[in-house]
Amino acid sequence: DAGVTQSPTHLIKTRGQQVTLRCSPKSGHDTVSWYQQALGQGPQFIFQYYEEEERQRGNFPDRFSGHQFPNYSSELNVNALLLGDSALYLCASSHPTGVQNYGYTFGSGTRLTVV
C-alpha cells in the first residue's frame, strides 16, 4: 500500500520564478494538507484541501496557492519565489473520518532551494 508520494524530491529555482509541487495521498485518504518546514524548525501549516476546495489556510501569503484534483491528488504552487521560500515542503493526507482520530500520513517532502 503506497503511502503519500511527493514529486519532485529536490528542486532549485531562481528568485522570482514560479514552482509547482505535487502530492498523491495515501490510498483511501481524501484530505490533503501542505506544510512548510524551514531548516531547524517545525512544520508550518500552509493549507488543507478537501473535496477539491481549500478548507483551511494558515498564515501564508497569496503567493501560495493550491489545487486538489478529483482523484484527491494535490498541487502546491508558489509564485514570485523569495529566498525565504527555501524549505522542505511536506504533504500530508488524512482519513475521511477526520484527522482528530487518525492523525496524518506524511510524504518525504520536496526540498526547494531558491537562489
Partner 1 sequence: AQKVTQAQTEISVVEKEDVTLDCVYETRDTTYYLFWYKQPPSGELVFLIRRNSFDEQNEISGRYSWNFQKSTSSFNFTITASQVVDSAVYFCALSEPGGSYIPTFGRGTSLIVHP
Site for partner 1 in 38-77 (CB under 8 A): 40-45, 48, 55-56, 58
Task: List Cα–Cα distances, 74 to 36, 54, 83, 101, 115, in angstroms.
Answer: 15, 11, 24, 22, 25
**Cα–Cα distance between 35 and 33 in angstroms, integer?**
7
Q: Examine residue 96 and tell whether it contacts partner 1 (CB under 8 A).
A: no
Closest to 106 measured CA to CA, from 31, 9, 4: 4
Q: Examine residue 5 and tell whether it contacts partner 1 (CB under 8 A).
A: no
Residue 113 CB, shortest distance to partner 1, in Å, is 14
* Nearer residue to partner 1 within complex by CB, 15 or 57: 57
Residue 114 CB, shortest distance to partner 1, in Å, is 18
Query: C-alpha angle with apex 2: 74 to 72, nearest 5 degrees?
Result: 25
Interacting residues toward partner 1 by CB under 8 A: 33, 35, 40-45, 48, 55-56, 58, 88, 90, 92, 98-100, 102-109, 111
